[in-house]
A and B are shown apart, each in its own frame.
Chain A
Amino acid sequence: MAREFQRGHKAKVSDLTSGTDLYVGVQIAGPGLTFDISCFGLDADEQLSDDRYFIFFNQPKSPEESIQLLGAQAGDTESFRVTLDRIPANIHKLSFTATLDGAGQMSQVGPGYIRIVAGGEEVVKYAFTGSEFTTERAVMLGDFYLKDVWRFAAVGQGFDGGLDALLKNFGGEVAEEAPAAPSQDAPPAFAPPSQASAPPAFGAPAAPQAPQPAPAFGAPSAPAPAPQQPPVHAAPTIAAPMAPQAPAPYGQPPQQPQFGQIPGQGAPPAAPPYGQQPPAAPPYGQQPPVPFGQQPPGLPHGVPQGVPAAGAGLQAALQPYKEAATGQRWTSQNQQLMRVDLTMGGMPVLARQGSMVMYQGKVDFGYKGAGFAGRMVGNATGQEMQLMRCTGRGQVFLAEEGAHLHPIELQGDGICVSAENVLAFDESLLYEVRRIEGHGIPGGALFTMQFQGTGTVVVKTHGVPVVLPVTPTTFADCNAVVAWSSASQVIVSSQVRLRRNAYPGHSGETVNLQFRGAPGNFVVVQPYEV
């Protein structure tokens, strides 16, 4: 028996049906309107992190075929097959959307629905009409989302932009999309060096509905939203100018390959690529040059004002650098930045002084001495480890001099880290400062911190480190060694050769640390000698 859902209703899929192999049908129609119905597989942050889970007519199934596009059938405008238990763990939400292709607005649609059919029986149906919408050009119809178990929600929310705005909303890389400010203050058209150098194919606008080669990330192209112009650019590949006012040729996906080959856009064989010729003969679209921004009109434009792959605007440009929250205590934001959430676990973190670059929330930074033993050792050489204790509730971002950071999670095991390479660690860890003495070590001794217990140590390295297994003949430079498993034994080995002094300029590698231990032990070495 079908349950009728209203906008905003939610239910566990298991309450609706015991099956997990579901048929999702969407009916949406309106006089003179055509729709693209697609499914976005989103991650926990509601982002389209894997574009293979954007299911639409050009990409009809996900890699493991848990989501498949079936086409129109049984009265549905579009239908999908969703196998919930085969959806990979990183997909947390499937959002079914309908976008208008061409002119029109959502208020013009007639009665429609999204329904789930399991085992040949309709189990849930959410019906809507155009009167629920106004000028939107896209609508999010319903979601499957994972909250402990898979649930279904009737969303019915309109979305102002078209498919590209929707894609951007989901963090998708809009491979082809409206250029920044597609229409009004459009970037100037690019004037290629000469007509001759442009591939002939250029001049001939392809039929707008030509079949498309699947683009790198195939946002639907022909149906793509932008109403006035075909705005489609495969931004990463085209070497071509964005000429938003240009008629057809730009927008044609089939021509994309040629964009990449346009000579003259910096490609060596071409004529001066900088487009100094008057705009009088813009070969691409015969459009008049468009004044750009505050630029005085009438000037020749030659520079392609393309839009970056991710799209125009501040948000798009900075999207790759967004903070990523994983819900764990320690999260690498990128190679060089560590985020620690003090609210998780509830224990303070000890960090090297001055390594905090940013924090959110109420966090207190206090002085933490190296302890009596530490000071004893430290004072002997003036190499005291300066720590601060971060307490409170909030997120602290730690980094130092752009060094690579590596969180090492200890679960009862031990690790020795060269004191200079410790960035931060959980206070729950037991640590002691040890020194390794040896003739020839700068400063007289190498200071290491031995950590034991359960918790995380963040180790910093200059450059990408190498992790070596401990074999009977493992040696490391005492200046470059970063860490080693504490079960391995360290021996200082000096290469003293009697004849050393016989040669001017010896190898310079006189003091090495030799490691001994059972198989399974390791040594971490950085490509940088302090």
Chain B
Amino acid sequence: MNQQLAGFAPTPVTARMENHGRTMLKVAMASGQDLYARTGSMVAYEGFIQYEPNPPAVRQIASQWITGEGAPLMKCAGDGLLYLADYGADVVVINLDNDSLSVNGTNLLAFDSHLTWGVERVKGLAKFAGQGLWNVCVQGTGWVAITSRGTPIVVDCGRGEDETYVDPDALVAWSPNLKVKGKRSFKAGSLIGRGSGEAYQMAFSGQGIVVVQPSEDSTDRLRVRN
């Protein structure tokens, strides 16, 4: 039995954050290098790691995000190996090199606590999307892990003059320097039940990238479970 399962043993640590398979994230923790992770995303850990849900620092930064149940982030501190996953979603590990990235709150899995981050509401759109669209802007040099339901795609916006329109449910992340606006494509037909099914999109323009997942499932599974 061991032989068949041996192939799934963790590989030696080579970096702070790594993929274990497509859908699991392995973080090498050390004291002094804290991590913010989505509450409920921990699937296993080795070593001595402590979790602090809704830490004061988060409460301050993400005060808007908090809707009474606390921000969906926990602070992980300690030494060891931490395994995170989000219900089988693909995990993409990004080593920010003085970059910045704006990630949809649902698609953020973990990030280094020393990164500069902030929570903002996507303007003009939140009132249409059912759960509101929160995004976390992460900036600096360090590690970020995002999730995507299915293999994501990255599109360069600055190529054509045309804007890039994204279904908000499929949006994962984008460059914060892009200009974002909501676009409603309501037509008379939509009112009598003949819509195209695509009522509103987010329009991105400028130089930067947009990351999109091949699924319009934007439910926050980590949160739904609670």
A residues at B contact (CB < 8 Å):
180-181, 185, 187, 235-236, 238-240, 260, 262, 265-268, 272-276, 292-296, 299-308, 312-318, 321-323, 333-337, 352-363, 365-367, 369, 386, 388-389, 394, 397, 399-402
Contact = CB atoms under 8 A, between A and B. Distances in A.
A216 to B, nearest CB: 14
Interface in B145-181: 149-156, 160, 162-167, 170
A316 to B, nearest CB: 8
Contacts of B43: none
A334 B15 contact: no
B121 interface: no
B32 A400 contact: no
B92 interface: yes
B61 interface: no
A307 B142 CA distance: 10
B93 interface: yes
Contacts of A240: 14
26 contacts: A236-B14, A238-B14, A239-B13, A274-B29, A275-B79, A276-B30, A292-B33, A303-B13, A304-B15, A307-B95, A314-B97, A317-B95, A321-B154, A321-B211, A322-B153, A323-B153, A335-B150, A335-B151, A354-B197, A354-B198, A354-B216, A357-B166, A357-B212, A389-B196, A397-B155, A401-B215
B30 A181 contact: no
A265 B167 CA distance: 42
A358 B99 contact: no
Contacts of A304: 13-16, 28
Interface string B106-149: 00000010100000000000000000000000001110000001
A366 to B, nearest CB: 6
Contacts of B92: 317-318, 321
Nearest to B95: A312
B32 A300 contact: yes
A357 B14 CA distance: 35
Contact of B114 (A295, A302, A363): A295
Contact of B216 (A262, A266, A389, A400): A400
B96 interface: yes
B12 A267 contact: yes
B194 interface: yes
A266 B211 CA distance: 32
Given A294-B140, A397-B212, A402-B217, A361 B162 contact: yes
Interface in B20-48: 28-33, 47
B182 to A, nearest CB: 15
A243 to B, nearest CB: 13
Given A321-B153, A367-B196, A274 B215 contact: no
Interface of B: 9-16, 18, 28-33, 47, 79-81, 92-99, 101, 112, 114, 140-142, 149-156, 160, 162-167, 170, 185, 187, 189-190, 194-198, 201, 209-217
State the 6 A-B residue pairs at the shortest beta-carbon distance, nearest first. A353-B197, A399-B214, A306-B15, A239-B12, A402-B150, A313-B97
A313 B96 contact: yes
Contacts of A400: 214-216
B114 A293 contact: yes
Given A239-B13, A402-B150, A358 B93 contact: no
A395 to B, nearest CB: 9
A322 B9 CA distance: 30
B141 A302 contact: no
B30 A274 contact: yes
A308 B15 contact: yes
B154 A357 contact: no
B141 A180 contact: yes
A78 to B, nearest CB: 32
B214 A334 contact: yes
A267 B190 CA distance: 59
A180 B80 contact: no
A337 B194 CA distance: 25
A339 B199 CA distance: 20
A369 B28 CA distance: 53
Q: Could you say which of B15, B98, B197 has the most chain A C-beta atoms within 10 Å of its C-beta?
A: B15
A399 B172 CA distance: 14
A342 to B, nearest CB: 12
B214 A336 contact: yes
A355 B214 CA distance: 9
A434 B156 CA distance: 42
A397 B201 CA distance: 13
A274 B97 contact: no
A188 B185 CA distance: 51
Contacts of A363: 165
B19 to A, nearest CB: 9
Contacts of B30: 274-276, 300-303
B140 A314 contact: no
Given A321-B154, A366-B196, A265 B165 contact: no
A312 B144 CA distance: 12
B151 A336 contact: yes
A201 B157 CA distance: 49
B14 A388 contact: no
Contacts of A274: 28-30, 47, 79-81
A353 B196 contact: yes
Nearest to A356: B198
A314 B33 contact: no
Given A239-B14, A365-B185, A388-B196, A303 B28 contact: yes
Given A265-B13, A317-B95, A388-B196, 20 more contacts: A240-B14, A265-B12, A274-B29, A301-B30, A304-B15, A304-B16, A306-B15, A312-B95, A314-B96, A318-B209, A336-B215, A353-B195, A358-B164, A366-B196, A367-B190, A394-B162, A397-B212, A399-B150, A399-B214, A402-B214
